[in-house]
Chains A and B, each alone.
Chain A
Amino acid sequence: MKKTLYELISENKRKTFLFLIIFSIILFLIGFVIAYLFEWGMTGIILIAVILIIYNIITYYNSDKIALMSVGARLAKEEEFQVLHNVVEEVSIAAGIPKPKVYVMYENQPNAFATGRNPQNASICVTTGLLQMMNRSELQGVVAHEMSHIKNYDILLMTVIGIVVGLIVLLRDILLRGMWFGAGRRDRDRSNSSAILMIIGLILAIISPILVALIRAAISRQREYLADADGAYVVRNPYGLASALEKIGGYSKPMKVASDATAHLFISSPFIGQKYFSTHPPIEDRIKRLKSLAF
C-alpha cells in the first residue's frame, strides 16, 4: 500500500512533466507554421519558443490560481466559514499534510475540488450549495476525498491539464474566429495563409477536444475511485462520503460556470446527464464501492 502510493505520486509528477512537454511541442509546431506563413523569420520562432517556456513556468506555478479564478472562487473567511475551516483542519491532521487554503464558490450545485502543485501549496474549494446541504460528517467525507487528491499529487496533473485544455480551447476559438475576419479580404497571399490557419483551427477544433477528453477521462476516473477509498481510509469512515455522494447525485441542476477545462477537477461532474467521455465514474458505482469498505 505504502509503496504503491509513492509510485503513484512519482507517476503523477512524471505524467505532468510529459504532458507539458508534449503539448509544448504541439503548440510550438503550430506556432512555427504561423511564423512561417506570416514570414516572421527566426526572431518570430525564437519569440514563440520563449513565450512557450514562460507559459509553462506560469502554468506550473500559477495553475491553481488560474483554476480558482476561472470558476470564480473566493477565499473563505475564517469567521464566516468556521465549520468548513475546522473540518479542513481536522482532515489535514488525519492525512498528515499542512492545512490547505480554503475557498468557496457561490454556487447552488453541491460540489468541491482541490488544486495546487504540491501539498505545501494546495487549495480546497467547495460550493456554498455543498455547505448548505451536507451535515458535518458528509462534509468531512468530501474534504477527505479532496485531501487525498492533494496528498497523491493528483491536483498538479489535473490542474495543469485543465490549463492546457483551456489554452487549446482558446486557441481554437481565436483561429476559427480569425477565419471569419479574414474572409472579407481580397489579398491573395493573405487569403492563402488564412486558409491554412483555418485548416489548423478546424483540425484543432475536431481533434483536440476528443483527444483531451479521452486522456482526461482515462486519468480521472480511476483517480476518483482511489480518492474515494483513500479519503474514507484517512477519516476511517466511508459512510460520510457515501451519503454526501448520494445527495450530490440527487441534485439535478448543472453548474453555472462549468466548462470543459475545469470539469475533471470537481468531486462530481458539474454537468448533468453527460454520458460520453465522462470525467467521472457513475455515482451509484462509487457509493457501492464505498459501502463495501470496512475499517
Chain B
Amino acid sequence: MVGWIILIVVIVVALWFVGTYNMFVTLRNRVKNAWAQIDVQLKRRYDLIPNLVETVKGYAKHEREVFEKVTELRTKAMSASGPKEVGEANNMLTGALKTLFAVAEAYPELKANENFLKLQEELTNTENKIAFSRQFYNDIVMRYNMAQEKIPAALVARVMGLTPSEYYPVPEEERGNVKVSF
C-alpha cells in the first residue's frame, strides 16, 4: 500500500517536473524569438542610417557635428551586446536621429527631396516597429522572469540553471507612449 502511494507521488512529481521544464523551454524560446524580432528591425535601421546621413549631407554640409554623433552612436549600437546594452545604445541613437531630423527642418530643399522623404518614412516605420516589438519582448521577459521566481517552479528553474532575461530599456521620454514622429 505504502509502496503504491510512494510510486504515485513519484509519478505525479515527475509529471509536474516534465511539464514545468517544458514550460520554461517554451518561454525561453519565446524570449529568444521576440528578441530576434527586435534584432531584425535594429539591423534594418543600421542599414538605413548611412544612406540618410549621405542624403542630408548633400544639402546641409555645415552640420558636421550631428552627422558625426549619429555615425558614432550607430557604431556603438552595432557593437553592443545584450538587450540592456543594445537598448540603451539604440535609445541614444534615436535621440541623435531626432536631432538630425530637427536640423533637416531648416532646409526646405532637403525636405522636398524624394529620397529623403522615403528614408524618413522608412526610419519612422522601423522606429515604430522597434517600439512595438519592444513592448512585446518586455511582456514576455516579464512572464519568463516571474515564472522563474515563483515557488515551486523556481526549483525547476534552479535545476535548469536559468537566469532572468534582461529587459529592453524604455527611453525616459517615451514611458507610457511609444508614438514616434520625427
Binding site for B on A (CB under 8 A): 82-83, 86-87, 89-91, 93-94, 96, 136-137, 140, 235-237, 240, 294-295
Contacts and interface: CB of A to CB of B under 8 A. Distances in A.
B136 interface: yes
Contact of A236 (B118, B124, B135, B136): B135
Contact of B129 (A82, A83, A90, A137): A90
A235 B136 CA distance: 12
Contact of A237 (B37, B124, B179): B179
B129 A89 contact: yes
Interface residues of B, dominant DSSP: helix
Contact of B124 (A89, A93, A136, A240): A136
A171 B133 CA distance: 48
Interface residues of B, number: 17
A294 B128 CA distance: 20
Given A236-B135, A237-B178, 14 more contacts: A82-B121, A86-B122, A89-B129, A90-B128, A90-B132, A93-B129, A93-B136, A96-B136, A136-B181, A137-B181, A140-B179, A236-B176, A237-B179, A295-B177
B178 A236 contact: yes
A236 B179 contact: yes
Nearest to A94: B132
5 contacts: A91-B132, A94-B132, A137-B179, A237-B177, A295-B177
B132 A295 contact: no
A8 to B, nearest CB: 20
Contacts of A93: 37, 129, 132-133, 136
Contact of A94 (B118, B135, B177, B181): B135
A89 to B, nearest CB: 7
A86 B117 CA distance: 14
Interface string B122-145: 101100110011011000000000
A235 B177 CA distance: 8
